[in-house]
Amino acid sequence: MQTFILGFMQATLACYGMRQWNPDLSQPSDSLFNVACRFVVLDTFRQALITRTYAAYKVPIKYADSYDLLSKIYDHIVHFHYAARFHKELDNPGSVLTATELHARLTRRARVR
């Protein structure tokens, strides 16, 4: 990733008074802190698209202006996928790491066959 984008991400976090991006998955996705986390991600992702940082992934630059689409993707990834993992880990500590390791092992085994 370009050094410029990493600096831009850190500057954007600082503008919101944050040192690191860490949404509170125990709160609703529309809580004030989680909305600020969403803004940081969407701002930096849009900047990365515009500067062609993700050119290798062939992400069309037209999506940089599609705030609704980017916001829905963000909410799904963070507040559905990662929140489910977060709550599963709260209910059964160590279960997410165990499942991840098992999945990696099975994937490697499938490649060998």
| Residue pLDDT, tens place only, 26-79 | 888 889 999 999 999 888 888 888 888 777 778 788 888 888 888 888 888 888
Both tokens of residue 67?
């705030």
Burial class (CB in 10 A: 0-12, 13-18, 19+), 63: middle
According to DSSP, residue 64 is labeled G
Q: pLDDT tens-digit profile of 64-87?
A: 888 888 888 888 888 888 888 888
- Non-local (6+) Cβ contacts of 96 within 8 A are 85, 88, 89
Does 103 score more than 80 pLDDT?
A: no
pTM recorded for the entire structure = 0.67
- Contact indicator for 12, 44 with CB cutoff of 8 Å: yes
